[in-house]
Structure 1
Amino acid sequence: MDLTEPWLASEEGAARTQGPRTVMRCVRLLLRAHGAAELLGTILSEGPGWITGEGSALYLTDGEGMLRLAASHGLPEWAHERYGLVDPASELPAALALKRREPVLLSPEQTGADYPGTHAGRGTGLVALAVLPLVVDGVAIGSLALSLAHRGTVPRRDVDVLETLAEAVAHRLSHLIDHVQAADRIPPGVRAGTAAAGRPLLALAARAAGAGAFERDLVTGETSWDARAYRLFGLEPPPEADTAPAPDITGLVHPEDLPDLQAAMAEALSSGGPYRFAYRVVRADGELTHVREDGEVMLDVHGRPVRVAGLLTDRQRVGTAPPAQPYGSQPCGEGSAGAAARSALLLALTRTLSRAVTVRDVTTAMTDIARPALGASGLVLDLVDEGRLLPISHEVFGGPYRSELSRLHDLSAGVMQSSLTRSVPLFSEPGGARPQGPLTPAAWAVLPLVASGRQVGSCLITFATERVFGREDRTMYSAFAGILAQSLERARLYDTHHHRATELQRAMLPRSLPRVRGVVAAARYLPSTEGMQIGGDWYDLLPLPDGRVGVVIGDVQGHNAEATAVMGQLRSGLRAYATDGHDPAATLARTSRLLAELDTDLFATCLYLVLDPATGELTGARAGHTSPVRVSGHRAVELELPGGPPLGVEPGAAYPLTTGRLGVGDTLLVYTDGLVEDRAEDYDHSVRRMLGGLELWSRRTGGPTRATPQAGLERMADLLTLNVTERRSRPDDVALLLLHRVPVLD
């Protein structure tokens, strides 16, 4: 039973999971699972569709009685670190479920408040969390946490389904644990009858195959090996330790195989997921060992590689090793094979950088892929800004070493400037004992970054162990410096254009919302992060005669400068028609004719509402735009607002005028489709998830009226945009406007 391997359905497993989802079918598949990860994966793939999966986890009780994270899906790296081990006496949900012996149901607002930084799910769909105890015959096995896409309270029938699935998981885990304990001696610290992770099934198989296990933290660069991995490399394992810090593998791999290994690692880090390498290891006695490395690159919620784990196997033992070649038959990779391998590494790094669009993408590629692929312990990347070298890489890399890397930059500033001025790479190979920490590198390279004759920046790459930079190594690093410089130059140009375009669009939006008696308002605008285009999303809050207030939200077709220009014209025209006293239907009709008269083929969707804060009377018209949402008490519903065609499509079209009411304490939400649209999800489903999330948040917090209305409204706006801001990219602009009615005081 592997407690850490992510669940991946095999071809056999994929075949067996075909067919309609039913609870009984899911239970049958759970009772055939072979490990914790497969159990969790079966629930997510075969369980009810309202189990969303993002943020789900399975905890097992270890030999010390602690709850240890055994399998997860969609959890960010920080959650693994912070909640990987849970004290059963704590007030965390995994512990509460076991203490109470009953399900613990949490709203997304509760998880966000009690466990800050959590991701609420995909798109704008805010999810609930159900944590269920795993108990068999009174023995605590662990806890199962599942994220749900429910609107409001979880129905009792769904809680029954969850408890049924949890009971099946508990009984299967109990059987697997008993099987493991019967098959092997119980290791020290493991308590009989508990879900200890001391000898999982995969560990038994690995031991039988003579395989060693390893794990590498890509944020800190720290690598751990178990005892069998040490012995495989011909090293004596540290005494009385299950795992220990691993030595630098670059000093152990055959020099002819190292560039190939680095190139393959760069590809694996770039794509993520399972991989398989084969290379030779030079043992201390000069003997060659043919090693096969089977591992997986684990990605965080943003798709960045954060951890590598896997097994190391002696290929000769499994009968797959090629005929042994004497070590030293070629001079350390200086032959054609070494040159080809370095070319492959350079090509892999080039492909990685070619996908980088922004400067941040370039620095991320360098720290996430180039640094571990090259076996570097530290990396400092500087850009030339007004004649000075300023660091940029610390923003995306460092972890606990961030302050040390900043100091390393200060210490190396002189040599980095010197290398850039002379446009010559510098390589240092100091000898001596192995240093400790990134501030005392055993070897380093400084690469001047020059593109089209222009100084772009400088890159410092440090190594924790001694390293000899041969002629071909120096040639490869010099070539890589040119590729990196070109990538940074292109990325800076993109960032400049994107910044100017975004500033242009922001300049056409209200700098601040006007204060209107009887209402409080909040707004958000988030530009697209894909491509250099800008969009035409806009919003407006208009003080009107007689104390009324107009609410406008719109979206011009396209993502370019023309769309932004048209947006500015429409905003001005609509404002003029509205302040002249026209009702929403007439205002949209006139604005549609205005757009048709402009020399453009673009159209726009728009929603215009007018609210009387004194009476709550609400009138509105809609031109192809998404419907507004009213949050009243603990209910969030879309208002029925019959609409007409988008602006500019039919210049003579009339728009129906709808009348309603917004009560005191009610909140009105208008937004553009970028807030909920997700390419991997049906649009209507995304809207329902948003409505459910608003209801859960309102039920938990009391809505904007619980605190000061303005603070509550700002919190609601932040919650709505939470998942949009956490996405790796935004293909569309996002605009939203919230209006909350408060009592009008004389």
Structure 2
Amino acid sequence: MAPVEDENRAVRSAMRCVRLLLGCTTAAEMLATVLADGPSWITGEGSALYLLDSAGMLRLTASHGLPGWAHERYGTIDPGSDLPAAAALRLRRPYLLSPEHTSADYPNEDAGLGTGMVAVITLPMIVDERPIGVLALALAHRGTVPLRDLDVLETIGDACAHRLAHLLDHADGRLPQSAQAPAGPAGAPGRPMLSLAARAARHGAFERDLVTGETAWDAEAFRVTGQPVAPDGSAPELERIVHPEDLPDVRAAMAEALAVGGPYRIEYRVLRRGGGVVRVEESGEVMLDVHDRPVRVAGLLAEHGDALAGERAGQEEPQDGPARQDKAGAARTALLLTLTRALSRAVTVRDVTAAVTDVARPSFGAASIVLDLVDEGRLLPVTHTVYGGARRSEPTRLADLSEDVMQSSLTRSAPLFSEPGRGEPGRGAPGGTTGGPPGGPPGGPAGSPAAWAVLPLVASGRQVGSCLITFATERNFGREDRTLYSAFAGILAQSLERARLYDTHHHRAGELQRAMLPRTLPRLPGIASAARYLPSTEGMQIGGDWYDLLKLPDGRIGLVIGDVQGHNAEATAVMGQLRSGLRAYATDGHDPAATLARTSRLLAELDTELFATCLYLTLDPADGRLTAARAGHPAPVRIAGARAVELDLPGGPPLGVDPGQPYDLTTGRLAEGETLLVYTDGLVEDREEDYDESVQRMLDGLELWARQTGPGRIGPASALERLADLLTLNVTERRSRPDDVALLLLHRM
């Protein structure tokens, strides 16, 4: 019941914060309310509130814990810049920076950033499509914020936005003009001269949201392409306006741009409304998020030459059939190669689905792509969170509604393509298929895709899964298109099969490792404890990290943490032997120094060349007396009040290196209310950072946590569990985890 009670308490706290926000009269009071009455995991250090001023710039209005240099550097932010606050306002959704990125991009201990323990989220404040500003909050999270916490943050951001809009309306009679214009290329807030320059050069601006699939054009973009202006600024589908001979080239070029990110340039012909052709040059940039996934494309459309030359381009002598086919075939081959490269870099099933979502979907011009995988003879949807964005539920709905047709395609090992022109009258796009039964993804006229393809995924003669690709506009699939999609299905099937084997191996390796560790920690009077283990993401992903909490015969408690060299089955086997041997020596009554000496001799007698580091200490819960010895292992950390320091503990050689070498025995005392942290070096080690700096960053983060938690509140088991989660989350967002991670926390109450 404890987790449910904690969740209910968090909801009540958030609702109380919202009620207080709706009574605030200034931006400063609003930020102070969020920090004082919001969830406890909003740390406060480095938080800020920005409002759009009359010039369309984000201006720092209230802050907490920001040093002078941050006020000078980030006092005013251009909404067109790459800073997180600007990105959140443009994308109109929360923008998260993990501690790894805040440490690298905005390092400053005084701001509470760069400690490796704080994430920063920027929340856009928008009311009735009018941007008001941005709320930036520092969080005691690492990387991904849980959906429950994200909902709370968005609710707080919305409450701030509506209250500020009300205050601005009553103060000035209306919102500033910059806040009335939607953020995007059409309004170009904050850079009116640049927008004017683009219009003077007769260039059109565009913006594509790769998460939602929406594309917006300004009025000049419609003029350049000769298309009627849409009332909502939404752009027409590329398939409707790009010359059919150029469409394969455009798709191949976009796939390459999405795969690598950054600036790109494409030249193609556009079919004008009412006849005629104009040659257009599209230059833009693919923008990536903090995880290097493409989320947005923005740029300019320009006529390539004068209008007369564009008209003549449509009247040029057409290429003969073979030449045109060769050109289109080369473009399709280039597209397929780009997709192959993107999928070849994918390691896990999640990586494969991300490549499909980020590169394949926009390259094909698809509205969505849904993957089902075969599991014990049944088709099961891939985890839908990989799709992300506001339309996350759409692939789930399509997968549920299309189960029968996807199963039919897989059973017959034949792709199914919708043929709108051949459907029965009145049935719409899914009314007919080629090579399969009538019908398709159901859902009624309002919910059905205009066109779709279902591809069976078969690798090495084995059924892997099925892929549904839907389109927002009708299309007929020619022979070349069907060949392209079939080839893509083969590559995707191979990638998914390889990724599934990797995921299975990873899962089994993790299970083996965890089977060698304690399933639960013993409950001991006067003591609270918490432990975590994360496997390596390289090699076999099993290693020799272990921990143990021992109940000794004389009433004392034994605390063990160790790390066997290597990441393979041998390291795990040696770890199991050492754990058993050390436990036997400890329960026989040997002190930590003698226990490590005997364990070192045990390792030297084993048929292995591996060595191990280890730390063993004992604690008497009655008086707090500590005895400890260390064999080449990182020193334990004492958290007392708002201080976190390493214990002065002399170390000897790693186990098995010099079996005749004795170890020093150190004594000390752990007072009531103090906490010990023992860990393996994978918790702090970073290939791009000096080890001592990494340790200091962790210590700084622990002190920040202790300050925010408050004196006397770190002891309860729930708080200790949160600290353990925070410490392990400190490494989960790294692209690579070359070493195992193990930690054990012990608090004397």
Q: Distance in 2 between matches of 1:465 and 1:196?
A: 29
Match of 1:136 in 2: none
Higher relative contact order (CA 8 A, sep 6+): 1
Give matches, 1:57-68, under 5 Å: none
**1:484 aligned to 2:476?**
no
Counterpart AA for 2:195: A
Counterpart AA for 2:491: I
Deviation sequence 1:73-97 (CA, Å, 0-9, x none) = 499979964568xxxxxxxxxxxxx
1:230 to 222, 240, 248: 222
Deviation sequence 1:371-405 (CA, Å, 0-9, x none) = 11111001111111111111105231153333332
- Displacement of 1:59 in angstroms is 5.8
Work out whether residues 209 and 297 of structure 2, in 8 Å CA contact, stay in contact via their aligned partners in 1.
yes
- CA separation of 1:373 and 1:127: change in aligned 2, threshold 3 A: closer
- CA separation of 1:613 and 1:437: change in aligned 2, threshold 3 A: farther
Match of 1:4 in 2: none
**1:72 aligned to 2:62?**
no
1:212 to 195, 204, 215: 204
Give matches, 1:608-627, under 5 Å: 608-627=616-635
**1:281 aligned to 2:288?**
no
| Secondary structure, counterpart of 2:298 in structure 1 | strand
Deviation sequence 1:571-621 (CA, Å, 0-9, x none) = 111111111111111111211121121111211111111111111111211
Q: Distance in 1 between matches of 2:547 and 2:297?
A: 45
Deviation sequence 1:484-519 (CA, Å, 0-9, x none) = 111111111111111111100000010000112221
Match of 2:189 in 1: 197
Q: How high is the TM-score relative to the length of structure 2?
A: 0.74
Give matches, 1:325-404, under 5 Å: 326=315, 329=319, 335-392=325-382, 394-397=384-387, 399-404=389-394
Counterpart AA for 1:313: A
Q: Distance in 2 between matches of 1:298 and 1:447?
A: 30
Work out whether residues 216 and 307 of structure 1, in 8 Å CA contact, stay in contact via their aligned partners in 2.
yes
- Displacement of 1:323 in angstroms is 8.6
Deviates more, 1:506-515 or 1:196-205: 196-205
Work out whether residues 456 and 489 of structure 1, in 8 Å CA contact, stay in contact via their aligned partners in 2.
yes
Q: Distance in 1 between matches of 2:75 and 2:208?
A: 22
Aligned length: 609
Work out whether residues 635 and 678 of structure 2, in 8 Å CA contact, stay in contact via their aligned partners in 1.
yes
Q: Distance in 2 between matches of 1:546 and 1:76?
A: 60
**1:711 aligned to 2:721?**
no
- CA separation of 1:615 and 1:128: change in aligned 2, threshold 3 A: farther
Counterpart AA for 1:685: E
Q: Distance in 1 between matches of 2:678 and 2:388?
A: 40
- CA separation of 1:188 and 1:217: change in aligned 2, threshold 3 A: closer
Deviates more, 1:585-594 or 1:392-401: 392-401
- CA separation of 1:498 and 1:188: change in aligned 2, threshold 3 A: closer
Work out whether residues 613 and 632 of structure 2, in 8 Å CA contact, stay in contact via their aligned partners in 1.
yes
Match of 1:137 in 2: none
Give matches, 1:27-176, under 5 Å: 71-73=82-84, 81-82=92-93, 124-126=116-118
Work out whether residues 419 and 429 of structure 2, in 8 Å CA contact, stay in contact via their aligned partners in 1.
no
Work out whether residues 89 and 133 of structure 2, in 8 Å CA contact, stay in contact via their aligned partners in 1.
no
Work out whether residues 674 and 733 of structure 1, in 8 Å CA contact, stay in contact via their aligned partners in 2.
yes
Work out whether residues 544 and 563 of structure 2, in 8 Å CA contact, stay in contact via their aligned partners in 1.
yes
Match of 1:657 in 2: 665
Counterpart AA for 1:426: L
2:305 to 316, 333, 346: 316
Match of 1:726 in 2: 733
| Secondary structure, counterpart of 1:618 in structure 2 | strand
Q: Distance in 1 between matches of 2:207 and 2:295?
A: 11
Match of 1:509 in 2: 517
**1:271 aligned to 2:260?**
yes
Work out whether residues 596 and 616 of structure 2, in 8 Å CA contact, stay in contact via their aligned partners in 1.
yes
| Secondary structure, counterpart of 2:495 in structure 1 | helix
- CA separation of 1:542 and 1:323: change in aligned 2, threshold 3 A: farther
Match of 1:579 in 2: 587
Give matches, 1:635-714, under 5 Å: 635-702=643-710, 705-706=712-713, 709-714=716-721
| Runs of 5+ unmatched residues, structure 1 | 1-34, 41-46, 62-67, 85-104, 109-119, 132-140, 150-185
- CA separation of 1:485 and 1:391: change in aligned 2, threshold 3 A: same
- CA separation of 1:715 and 1:437: change in aligned 2, threshold 3 A: farther
| Secondary structure, counterpart of 1:407 in structure 2 | helix
| Secondary structure, counterpart of 1:512 in structure 2 | coil
Q: Distance in 2 between matches of 1:495 and 1:592?
A: 36
2:745 to 730, 738, 745: 738
Work out whether residues 683 and 742 of structure 2, in 8 Å CA contact, stay in contact via their aligned partners in 1.
yes
Deviation sequence 1:523-556 (CA, Å, 0-9, x none) = 1111223444312111111111221111111111
Q: Distance in 2 between matches of 1:437 and 1:489?
A: 35
- CA separation of 1:365 and 1:393: change in aligned 2, threshold 3 A: farther
| Secondary structure, counterpart of 2:477 in structure 1 | coil
Deviation sequence 1:20-49 (CA, Å, 0-9, x none) = xxxxxxxxxxxxxxx989x99xxxxxx999
| Secondary structure, counterpart of 2:353 in structure 1 | helix
Q: Distance in 2 between matches of 1:631 and 1:586?
A: 27
Identity of aligned residues (%): 69
Match of 1:182 in 2: none
- Displacement of 1:668 in angstroms is 0.4
- CA separation of 1:486 and 1:691: change in aligned 2, threshold 3 A: same
- Displacement of 1:631 in angstroms is 0.5
Q: Distance in 2 between matches of 1:531 and 1:367?
A: 27
Deviation sequence 1:130-149 (CA, Å, 0-9, x none) = 99xxxxxxxxx999979899
| Secondary structure, counterpart of 1:737 in structure 2 | strand
- CA separation of 1:318 and 1:301: change in aligned 2, threshold 3 A: farther
| Runs of 5+ unmatched residues, structure 2 | 1-55, 61-65, 96-108, 124-131, 141-176, 182-186, 431-443
**1:221 aligned to 2:213?**
yes
2:551 to 543, 564, 584: 543
Deviation sequence 1:670-725 (CA, Å, 0-9, x none) = 1112212222222222211111111111111115x327611111111122123323
**1:302 aligned to 2:283?**
no
Q: Distance in 2 between matches of 1:148 and 1:707?
A: 18
| Secondary structure, counterpart of 1:399 in structure 2 | coil
Q: Distance in 1 between matches of 2:114 and 2:304?
A: 43
Q: Distance in 2 between matches of 1:577 and 1:49?
A: 57
Match of 2:637 in 1: 629
- CA separation of 1:81 and 1:694: change in aligned 2, threshold 3 A: farther
Work out whether residues 274 and 296 of structure 1, in 8 Å CA contact, stay in contact via their aligned partners in 2.
yes
| Secondary structure, counterpart of 2:287 in structure 1 | strand
Work out whether residues 36 and 58 of structure 1, in 8 Å CA contact, stay in contact via their aligned partners in 2.
no
Q: Distance in 2 between matches of 1:80 and 1:671?
A: 39
RMSD: 3.9
Match of 1:101 in 2: none
Counterpart AA for 2:521: L
**1:252 aligned to 2:241?**
yes
- Displacement of 1:272 in angstroms is 2.0
- Displacement of 1:121 in angstroms is 5.7
Match of 2:4 in 1: none
| Secondary structure, counterpart of 1:551 in structure 2 | strand
Deviation sequence 1:437-493 (CA, Å, 0-9, x none) = 994211111111111111111101011012221111111111111111111111111
Work out whether residues 423 and 448 of structure 1, in 8 Å CA contact, stay in contact via their aligned partners in 2.
yes
Q: Distance in 1 between matches of 2:681 and 2:307?
A: 56
- CA separation of 1:264 and 1:652: change in aligned 2, threshold 3 A: farther
Q: Distance in 2 between matches of 1:368 and 1:547?
A: 58
